[in-house]
Amino acid sequence: MKINKLYTAIALIGSLILTSCKEMLEVSPDHYLGKEEAYTIPEAQLNGIYYGMIVNNYYGRNFYQKFAVGSDNIVKRRGSSWANIHNMDKGSGEADMIYTQAYDVLVNIHHLLANEQASDEEKGQAYFMRAFVYFDLVRTFGQVPLVTEVLPYDAKPSNTDNSELDIYGQVEKDLDEALKLISNTTDKSKASVDAIHALRTRVFLYKADEYLTGEDQREYYQKVVDEAELINGTLTEAKDYFKYFQENGGEETILEFLMVQGQGGNDTDDHLGSRYSPNKNSDDFVRGQGYWTANPAWVSSWHQDDVRRSIVDSTLVSNEPGSFFIIKFTETDGEPFLHSPKVLRYAEVLLNKAEALYKLERTGEAALEIDKLRAERYLPSDSAPKAVGDIDEILEERRKELAFEGHRIFDLRRNRREMVLVEAEDEKKNAEIKVRKTVPAGDKNFWWPLAEAWTSRNPNLINTKGY
């Protein structure tokens, strides 16, 4: 009976998360749940939080894909409103869905933190997830409402006097609290001590790059290095690189948001991989939608022995030579197009550390971290070029290693680089590309505006930089 109640509660909270995407914090909880019992079972609440991360409006598809589509890694092929990511002065539906979904997850986090029945482990997980979500919000939208208490479901969060640095402060505080409570679980689908250290390397790097100067900035770069050295991580072997992304788990994974068949959407067309897979019949892959392919000028420059070339393929459709279809998210354990986002990987930790070392003028040490990564990214390994450890090399290594995982736009923005977007001259000849738009360094288009639907109904909201 207890187990049945738990499964019912998880399903009810999942229903809350999915339904509330359209009317976040504007409809009473009875509309979603019908039973207050779901809020009394901490395990159900925690599962509801993690389920909220993998719906299509967040990491199930849109967050990964939106930032990939908006980068110079991608060629725009077919007509799609998502191609207009850098022309969103009034926001977009996709940005609105991500913003809304993030706050939906936060509501459930606050219910769990207020639950006196919750264990230390469950509360530690909730603190970690609050830090994770608020970091996503601040790096995407800038100054967003900072809410840390349980709100009624008809509330409308609005900016008061909190700044972006206040949000970073809350993220750091929550990670400190999580570290006191959480265990170093081997379950890759839940936050662990290693996940806390890994997320800190990302948070500290962003904060140092975008908000700090002088000795404060150097202190945070050193924190990135220190946190990275607390993780005894493992890299996927070169021979298994492509396979690693087609399966759940993996030794390199520090945290993934686990998806199984039937989650994230009603059919395979809803899954992340479908949007990239060829939209024509292929002998090797299920037909997808083929909206975007990889930038051919970029991937053609990769070393022939670099196993990361395996995540794109220009031979899948015979009458489209030069179209580098993205096959990194082709399946998970046999389910077409399904992908459990590996949101924290040891490879990223090494890259964060290398970048921080470079910015501390420790270029030789930065090169060693790149060499460590390349040793498992080339076959044979001795064909890997020796690193020099400068920032251009580090950014290019990040571009390849973290390709299509939603990092590129942020990396260029943090380092004050311009971004040159391209599109195909002809859908069937993707090797022939042209410049679509150049986004200057520091431009507002590296951020997302809040959707007009939000700002029009809540004048207290402060829109993103420059919008």
**Which pLDDT belongs to residue 245?**
93
Amino acid letter, 200: R
Does 300 reside within a domain? Answer: no
pLDDT for 268 equals 52
198 within domain boundaries: yes
Instruction: Kindly state whether residue 174 falls inside one of the protein's structural domains.
Output: yes
CA distance 459 to 467: 14
Residue holding tokens 């003028």? 361
Q: What is the pTM of this model?
A: 0.89
312 located within any domain? no
DSSP letter string, 238-282: GGGHHHHTTSS--TTEEE-----TT-SSSSGGGSGGGGTS-SS--
H or E, element range at 344 = strand 344-345
Task: Check residue 431 and give its pLDDT.
Answer: 58
Residue 180 is assigned to a structural domain of this protein = yes
Question: By the 8 A CB rule, do 127 and 113 touch?
Answer: yes
What tokens does 448 get?
A: 């997302």
Total H helices, total E strands in the chain: 15, 10
Domain at 74, CATH number = 1.25.40.390
Domain presence at residue 211:
yes
Is there a contact between 270 and 56 (Cβ–Cβ < 8 Å)? yes
**Domain contains 314:** no
pLDDT of the chain, 467 residues: tens digit per residue: 343 344 444 444 454 444 443 333 333 333 233 345 556 799 999 999 999 998 888 888 888 877 777 789 988 765 554 445 555 555 566 777 888 889 989 999 999 999 999 999 999 999 999 999 999 999 999 988 999 988 765 566 766 678 999 999 999 999 999 999 998 888 999 999 999 999 999 999 999 999 999 999 999 999 999 999 999 999 999 999 999 999 999 999 999 999 876 554 444 556 777 777 765 555 555 566 677 889 988 998 999 999 999 999 888 776 677 788 888 988 887 777 788 899 999 999 999 999 999 999 999 999 999 999 999 999 999 999 999 999 999 999 999 999 999 999 999 999 999 999 888 776 555 557 888 889 999 998 899 888 777 777 777 787 887 77
Number of folded domains in the chain? 1
Distance (Å) of CA 436 to CA 84, 86, 295: 11, 11, 12
What's the pLDDT at 418?
A: 96
Instruction: Evaluate whether residue 467 is within a structural domain.
Output: no
Alpha-carbon separation of residue 300 from 152, 314, 400, 435 (angstroms): 53, 10, 12, 17
Query: CA 462, 28, 129, 101: dihedral to nearest 10 degrees?
Result: -60
pLDDT at 435: 86
* Predicted local distance difference test score (pLDDT) of residue 228: 98
Domain that holds residue 444: 2-241+344-457
Burial class (CB in 10 A: 0-12, 13-18, 19+), 371: middle
pLDDT of residue 157: 72
- Tell me the DSSP string of 93-125: HHHHHHHHHHHHHHHHHHHHHT-TT--HHHHHH
